[in-house]
Structure 1
Amino acid sequence: MISWQRLPFSELTTTQLYQLIKLRVDVFVVEQTCPYPELDDKDHQTGVHHLLGYINDELVACARLLPAGISYPSVSIGRVATSMNRRGNGLGHTLIQQALSDCETLWPEESIEIGAQEHLADFYKKHGFEQTSEMYLEDDIPHIDMKLCK
């Protein structure tokens, strides 16, 4: 059973912050062999929340929930990651559903924009997102912008 926590940066414990950064680096830097600036000065911005999914004491999923104006003109979800050893059982879909629910709680009736890796377009379409841009390279990985309109 997964338990969810949604916290602003200032309420993360040092252990939670370590686990969060480790999971993101494991997925985006190591697994995808993509050196990029993981610490982009958005994590600590006012209004940003971190969604943490735990199974027992293991952080297995995370996402960053950002208010309008930080990454996009609309609310956005970013840094969506699941542990490699926990994939294949729908955890990614559960994570997105929780992120969408939390965004609705934080920012009711707001549209949500994301910058999705292009190969995940169908995954996000299952959650109501629609492609809004042509493919572009971000850190040498094909991405597209997508939006969920309310």
Structure 2
Amino acid sequence: MASFLQWQCHRFDGFTPVTLYEMLQLRDRVFVVEQQSIYGDIDGVDLSAWHLAGRDGSGRLIAYARLIDPGVKYPDAVAIGRVVVAPEVRGKGLGKQLMAEAVTRCERLFSATPIMLSAQVGAQGLYQAFGFAAVSEEYDDGGIPHVDMRREAHGA
């Protein structure tokens, strides 16, 4: 059974020094160390993105994604990026909870706007379950095969 997460979603100025450190540490731990992907994580996008954090009952950050305004990464779509779940809590449905919350937040913040993401090829099935479809050929991003995926806007 999946664990219950408490969600927070805020702009960059909503971080405290500690919560900013926790977010950067989780992303570094998974993307750079675990996946051995060398890339520029500190890319300037965090400054204008929405930050979605899932915390367990003790307040520990265990799930995170950033929501990027339309026009920043994709011209006509909001982007979901840096989707990450802490390694020690994987296999409990938290990735699905994170994506459900990210899609819901995008729809609230950017109504009637398509959503796009750059998916690791191995995670395409997760995103397809939320209505995303591949819209690009496979490409290398930091040494990991990716594909762009898009979910058309729902509602008005």
User: Normalised by the shorter chain, which TM-score bucket?
Assistant: over 0.9
Following TM superposition, by how much is the alpha carbon of 1:122 offset from its aligned partner in structure 2, in angstroms?
1.1
Residue among 19, 22, 31 paired with 2:22? 19
How far did residue 72 of structure 1 move? 1.1
The TM-score normalised by the length of structure 2 is 0.93
What does 1:1-150 align with in structure 2 at a 5 Å threshold? Answer: 1-45=4-48, 48-55=49-56, 56-73=58-75, 74-150=77-153
Equivalents in 2 of 1:99, 1:34: separation in Å?
24
- For these two proteins, the number of residue pairs brought into alignment is 148
CA distance in 2, matches of 1:2, 1:139: 30
After superposition, what is the alpha-carbon deviation per residue over 1:79-98, rounded to whole angstroms, capped at 9, x for unaligned?
A: 00000001001000000000
Shift of residue 68, structure 1, vs aligned partner: 0.5
**Which whole-Å deviations, capped at 9, do the CAs of 1:3-26 have from their partners, x for residues lacking one?**
000010011111110000000001
* Separation in 1, partners of 2:107, 2:124: 22
1:44 aligned counterpart, secondary structure: helix
Q: What amino acid is the match of 2:110?
A: W
- What is the TM-score when the length of structure 1 is the normalising length? 0.96
Instruction: Determine the C-alpha separation between the residues in 1 that align with 2:152 and 2:93.
Output: 24
Uncovered stretches (5+) of structure 1, i.e. residues with no partner:
none
